[in-house]
Every structure is written in C-alpha cells, then in structure tokens.
Structure 1
C-alpha cells in the first residue's frame, strides 16, 4: 500500500505538493520546539487576568470573524489591538504558530491535535458546532468523472486524497472503517486541501485521484456544476460527526498575561460574532462573500448558509468527546500517540463564548 503518490498534474496540485513538502521539512525540527516552551509567565492553572496592559496585540487568522468585527465596529471597543491575518486552514495555522507569527487560529477537529503531535503545544479556547448537526454534513466525497465509484464500497482499490493534518483525514479513515475497507486496500494520496477546495476539485477533475472529501458547500456545488457533465458526482459519507470548529491558540500566548487577558475579551466577542452571523445571513452573504470575496449573490448565499446556523455550547463535554473520537481514529492510523482530549482544552474559557452567544440569541439587533 502506497501512502503518497507523486505524479502530480500541473497547477494547483503541484503547488499543494510543494506546500506539503515544505511543511514536512519545517516539522522535521518539531522535537526541538517541545523544549522551547516558555518556562516563565502565567501558569495555565492561574485565573485569567482581568486587565489588559497597554500595547497588547493579538494576531488572529479568521477572515469571516474579521469582517463581522469590522462591520459592527467592535474593534473600537477593545482595549487591545487586533492584527488580522489571512491565515486559515490547519496546515497554514500550524505553520504560523510554529513560526511565532499568529496568536489565534480557527480549524476543525484535527488541526489542534496535529499541532500537538508536531510538538507545538496549543489549547482550544472556543468551540462551535452546527445547530442542525444531526441532519447536516460539513463534508461529502467528491468522485472523479471516470473513477467508476457508485457507492462508498467502490472506494476499494481507489486513490483517495488524504491530508493527515486536517479533518479530511479523519473523514477518510472513518469512512473506510464504516464500509469495511482496509487501509491497505486503497492508495492514500497525501495532498493538503485548500480553503477554497480548488486543489481537491482540480485533482479529481484531472484524474490524479479518484475520490476526496470536499466541503459540502459551494465547493461541492461548483465541482458538480463544472464537471458533472463528464461524470463527476458526490457521495455522502456514513453518519458520523464532521462539524466541530475550534478556536485554538499556542500555549506561549496563554503564558503572556496581557495576551491571556485580551483573549478573554476576544473570545467573548467571538461568541457574539457567531450569534450575529446566525441572525444575519443576508448581510454575511452580501457584505463578506460578495463584497470581500467577489462571489455572485447566489453562491454567496450558499456560503452564508454553510457558515451560519451554528451553536456555541456552554459546556465542552460534547466537544471533548468529539475531539477524543478524532484522536482515537487518526492516532493509530498515523502512528501518533494517544492524547487525552481534555488536555487540549483550556477550561478557563469554557463558558465565555457560549455565554456571549446566549446573551443575544433571540434579541432584536
């Protein structure tokens, strides 16, 4: 069984292979990072400070939240400065943490886990999930036009995109287990997914891979729209959770009392932002996806629907169980040690975002 295939077509897939190689080279030095943790500063068991000293800056990678903050003028209320970065997606966020250029990142279940496995201590400080997660999937499988895959059982013997630092890897492994296919009976093509989904979509369309987990939003719609006439289609994965979203930060940022105090306030506003997005899908569609991303309004509404209708729980019991399932799925398959998911969460933040979201739910805006 081959875990990686390096016969890349030109364009975005080749670029993704280069990025994957660069990240792998970067993390070859990850063990040294484990010994570079701050030995001084605010203990992770200490209460969060109330006061933000002058000059504190939080570097945040979360474009949608940035637009919500700017649209509502919330940055003017903050006793610190936010530097927004166009850094999203597990591999890029982890690399930015490693380089020390980011304080706050957003990702699905796997990126915080993978960061710890790579020797970068991080903590989850906020969590969200779909309010309708019982009936909605965040990802579906894109099927290549000539792959001859009609059901998930047909994945046997096929080439499947696999990004071990992203939730897509969890989706692949859980799907194979659910349909009774052994990992050695498929070829996992190591290929990081882009935020826009173009890398996976282009690889599918070109025939470089046979199947890939792609986002069940505009990515899936565009893929079928652009290549459906050639036989491209999508399949739903078996019923398991794929919807969790985490705000996570390096422990070095939490060890800084000023940043820790700023994070306490930022996460409150992040919770408000989730509730605001839920209540204003048309504003998000027109303001962010049309105004900032240049999408046609019909496509923008698809993305706004995918972004919204989320819940911010006030208890992390479900979130911890969700993260533990991801650890227990991927750890044995990627030869990484088992982690206790509870150690990934900074429980000092547990109620902050949920309380903020609940404080405005159902109120007129």
Structure 2
C-alpha cells in the first residue's frame, strides 16, 4: 500500500460557537451519555448507544478523505452550510484509507462496501455512518470487466480457466467472487492473481498479459480502451450489482463525542452533495474528473453517464441486508469469521441523513 497523501485542505467557514466548557460540564453531569473525559486532544467519550451530541466545540477538526465530495461541496456552495471545520485529505480507495485510519491520519473515509468488512477482519474496528447507491445499478455498473487482448472472454461464462486480477480486501475482489458465483463457477475454475487495485495497476496487468480479466472502475475504462482496444482489448458488464458506497470511521473516532457531533454535521451536508452530483452531472464531470483528476472532457462525460444517477437511502434496512449477503459470501469464499452487519452500521446517522434530506425538499 502507498503511504497516506498529505492532508491539504482549507477550513470551512460559518461555524457556530459551542464552548468547550459546555461539554466539559456535560461530561460531569450527564454520565449516561458521556462516560469519561479524554485527554487534551480528545473529546469526552460517547457510548455507542447514546444520542449524538447536538454540536461539536468550535475548535473540532474533522479529517475527511473524500475528494469527490469535497469537489461537489465547493462547486455547489454547500461547503458554506458546514458548521464544522473540515481538513480534507487527498485519500481515496480502501487500502489508503485503512492505512490512514491505522496511522491516526484520518477520521472519515469514503469507500465501497468491502473495505469496512476488511477493516473488521484485519483488526480495525469501524462503523459505517452513511451509504449511497445507484439508481438502476445493473444498467450502470461501478465496475466493468476489462478483457485483455486475445483473452477470448465475451461473457462471464467464458471466465473458466482464465487468470483474473483479484484484490480480496477491495470491492473489486467482491465483484470477482460474485461474478463467478453468478456464472456458476468457483475459485477452482479460474486462476485468481492477487494484486491490489491501486492507480492503473489493473490496466497495466491487462495490457502486459499478466492477467486475462480484471475489474476496472469506470474511471479506468476510457484509458484502458484508449491504450489497448486497437489490439483487441475490450470490456464486458459484470452482470452483478456493485454500486454500494459508504462513509465509515474508526469506532474510536465515533466514541469521541466531539468527533461524533462533527460527523453528524458532515453527513447531513454530505447527503445533499450526493444529490447535487445526481442533478448536476455535467458540472461535476468538469469539476472533478477533468479539473481534479485530469481526464479529458470526453472521458469525464463517459464516466458520469456510465455511473448513472446516485441516490441516498434514508432507510438502511435493505442496504444492510444486501451488504450482509456480500459479507456472508466473502466469509465463505475467503475463510473469514462471519460478521453481523447490524453491528457495523451506526444507525444514529441514518436519522440525521433522513432529516437533512427531508428538510431540503426530499429525495
């Protein structure tokens, strides 16, 4: 894994003043909510069963790794609605986010549905505080299966005997396992070549013939085809749902009352930013994929069109049920301990998001 990128963001404005003394008093007078006071840099400890505090002290800083939402907030002006100071980190993807969590360099990260499971399995206790899904997910997959020139794969059933790039701790690995199951195949029917999907590793692996197939995020599809389509490189739809997206944090962060309150403020505005992305695809494509990621305008438009429209669920029941099915599959296929995802989702934030969306005109 690569080391975390430097945090380089600007604090947001318009914070409400909430004296630190108020929480210090609360720590003494409301023991059923705040059970202990932390050190100099920590807020009072908050039980996971307690109600979320209304506000964080004015000097609370929330360190967030979510470049796409940062861009959406700035383009839409919603960053002016944040009453919490955000320090943005140019960190994305499961491996880098988890490494930043473990190095105490990040409070909140935006990833697909597998990194929170992998964090739990590898000893980092985390909680999911928000979720996003795609409208018509089978028509707009997050990943396509990149097929190397000459590999002869036209549909998932053709994967038998092929070498497939596989990252067990990332969403791409889950996609591979689900595609195999849907096609009636097992791991014994293919050769899984383990490698982390970071940067353009999978693109290069396909182009160099290291693997026959690799799941490619939509942002990697245009550069892959630009390089290798003339030689016979293609992509095919995975035919499985792969659209879940989450915000998650180390449990220790959420047990800090100040940070928990800051996350409460953040996720309410985060939900509005996802809705803005859904209703302003061209502006987002230009601001994020072109100006931030350095892609060509044509490729940026293609990515946004391929990904389709996002929605933010205000009831997580179905989200958790689908996620549980994936967790069960991975536990079976990767010989992991079973997880009860009812414990992974912090549903206190579900209500926060629902109230934010309702107060701003609904979905």
Same fold (TM over 0.5): yes
- What's the RMSD between the two structures over aligned residues? 2.2
The question of 1:231 aligning with 2:232 is answered yes
Contact residue 52 and residue 79 of structure 1 kept, 8 A: no
Distance of aligned partners of 1:336 and 1:311 in 2 relative to their CA distance in 1, 3 Å threshold: same
Q: 1:307 to 1:176 in 2, by over 3 A?
A: closer
Q: CA deviation at 1:74?
A: 3.9
* Paired residue secondary structure (1:125): strand
For residue 263 of structure 2, what is the aligned residue in structure 1?
Answer: 263
How far apart are the structure 2 equivalents of 1:182 and 1:345? Answer: 30
Task: Find out whether 1:222 has 2:226 as its counterpart.
Answer: no
Shift of 1:132: 2.1
Give the whole-Å Cα distance in 1 for the aligned partners of 2:247 and 2:161.
37
Deviations 1:81-106 (A, max 9, x none): 11100111011111111111111111
Deviates more, 1:66-75 or 1:125-134: 66-75
Paired residue for 2:205, among 182, 203, 206?
203
Show structure 1 runs of 4+ deviating over 4 A: none
Retained in 2: the 8 A contact 1:56–1:262? yes
Q: Distance in 1 between matches of 2:313 and 2:261?
A: 22
Alpha-carbon distance in 2 for matches of 1:56, 1:306: 38
1:358, distance to aligned residue in structure 2 (A):
4.7
**Structure with a larger share of its residues in helix:** 1
Q: Deviations over 1:148-200 (max 9, x none)?
A: 32332222222111111111111111111222222123211111112x5x211
Aligned equivalent of 1:26: none
Give the secondary structure class of the aligned counterpart of 1:337. coil
1:43 to 31, 47, 55: 47
Between 253-262 and 353-362, the greater mean CA deviation after superposition: 353-362
1:341 alignment counterpart:
341
Question: Do the aligned partners of 1:130 and 1:309 also contact (CA within 8 Å) in 2?
Answer: yes
Q: For residues 108-142 of structure 1, give each alpha carbon's deviation from its aligned partner in whole angstroms, at most 9, with x where no partner exists.
A: 11010100111111111100100222532221211
Write the mapping of 1:281-292 to structure 2, written as runs, cut at 5 A. Answer: 281-292=281-292
Contact in 1 for aligned 2:290/2:297 (Cα 8 Å)? yes
Equivalence map 1:1-365=2 (5 Å): 19=1, 41-194=45-198, 196=199, 198-215=200-217, 217-238=218-239, 240-306=240-306, 309-360=309-360
Q: Tell me, yes or no, if the aligned pair for 1:140 and 1:213 is still in contact at 8 Å.
A: yes
Distance 1:79 1:359, change over 3 A: closer
The gaps in structure 1 that reach 5 residues or longer are: 1-18, 24-37
* Bigger Cα displacement from structure 2, 44-53 vs 180-189: 180-189
Structure 2's unaligned 5+ residue stretches are 5-41
